[in-house]
Structure 1
Amino acid sequence: FTGITGRYVKLEETISSFERLVAGEFDQYPEQAFFMAGGIDDVIEKANQMAKA
């Protein structure tokens, strides 16, 4: 539907990223950076690209 290639994220990475997210570690990143992202590395990369634009 979206034309965006899916990403596989390991369970361990998902749990670790969620714990960090709930702890507030990524509060400085815009909500849009999380949309349609795979792992947390994708979120950080998208946020950095958004900041440059």
Structure 2
Amino acid sequence: MTNQNIGTIVTVIGAVLDIKFHPDHLPNLLNAIEIDNNGQKLVVEVAQHIGDDVVRCIAMGSTDGLVRGMEAVDTGASIKVPVGKETLGRVFNL
């Protein structure tokens, strides 16, 4: 099994989250972070390194139900959009 880079949510204000990671494993800017929100996968994107091993992220969905202390997993990659019938007729602004 591969080692996962796991952080902890420290602040949730609307669609903005601050997540603390180990000092040697801060995710890169624009990385996708996944959070298990009561069985629903929420993806957030790293927007800023704000110091003290904390990254500021923007949620791509509802943050209802998120609380401090929840785990957040760095995917090590940017947000991906599927190609095919799933996105046919859709418009994306990322």
Fold agreement, TM-score > 0.5: no
**TM-score relative to the length of structure 1:** 0.31
- Rg bigger for which structure? 2
Structure with the larger strand share: 2
